[in-house]
Amino acid sequence: MNRLTVFCILVGFAIGARVPALAQHGQALGEPIPVESTVVRLAPVADGNIVDQSPFDGIPDGVLRTHSNVVFLDQGITDMRSVIEFDLVPLADANVTNASLELVLWGKAIPPELSLAPIEIRAFPADGFVRHRDFHRGQFVDVFDALPASFDVPVLIDVTKEVQRGISSSSKILGFILRTNSGAQIDFGSLELGTPPALVVTHE
C-alpha cells in the first residue's frame, strides 16, 4: 500500500464519519430548536433585621446587620422584621421561567400554646442596603407556617413574578421583607450566620 492509497483511505474514513452528522443535522431542519435552561443561585447583597422596640409605636428604631435573619413579634414590646436583598443585574438579559427564594432555618422558639408560626413575605424595589424605611415596605408575596418547618429542608417561596418584575425595574435590586403576627421567634440563616438565603433562578 503506497502513501497515496493510505491518504485516500483516511480521507474516505473522514468523509464517512461526517455523513451521520450531516444526516442528523438535516433531520433537525424545520423542527423547533430546544432551548436550554440554566439554573443560577444568587447570594444576597445585603440582609439584616429592622426592629421597632424603643418605643413600640410602629416606627422602626434600629437596624441589625450582623445577626441571623430574625422574625419575631412580642406584641406591645418588640416587632423584628428581616430584610433580604438581591442584585438582579446578572439576570438582566435572561428570560426567567422560575425563581424561588430559599430560606434555611437557623433557630426557632415557639411558645407551646401556639399552633401556627406564620411568616409573611413581601417584596419591594430595593437599593442594596437594609434601611429603617424598609420596615413597612413591600407587596404581599406569600405566607408559610414555620412551625412544622425542618432544619434540614430549605423553605422555598415562589418569587417568579417578583424576579421578572425586578429585572425590568430601574434599580434591578429586589428586596424581600419577612414579618409575623405571632409570638414565635424564627431565625433564618444570614450572610453572617448559618446558611445564607439564596435566590434560585431558572432562565433561558
Site residues for Ca ion per CB under 5 A: 52, 57, 59, 61
Minimum separation from the CB atom of position 104 to Ca ion (A): 29
Q: Which CB, 43 or 59, lies closer to Ca ion?
A: 59
Q: How many alpha carbons fall within 13 Å on the CB side of residue 141? A: 27
Q: Which CB, 52 or 102, lies closer to Ca ion?
A: 52
140 three-class SS: strand
Q: Which CB, 61 or 120, lies closer to Ca ion?
A: 61
Q: Which CB, 130 or 159, lies closer to Ca ion?
A: 130
Q: Which CB, 61 or 127, lies closer to Ca ion?
A: 61
Distances (CA, A) of 134 to 22, 76, 157, 201: 59, 20, 20, 24
Minimum separation from the CB atom of position 131 to Ca ion (A): 15
Q: Are 37 and 95 in contact (CB under 8 A)?
A: no
Continuous H helices in the chain: 3-28, 160-167
Minimum separation from the CB atom of position 135 to Ca ion (A): 9
Q: Which CB, 52 or 134, lies closer to Ca ion?
A: 52
Minimum separation from the CB atom of position 68 to Ca ion (A): 22
Minimum separation from the CB atom of position 55 to Ca ion (A): 5
Minimum separation from the CB atom of position 192 to Ca ion (A): 24
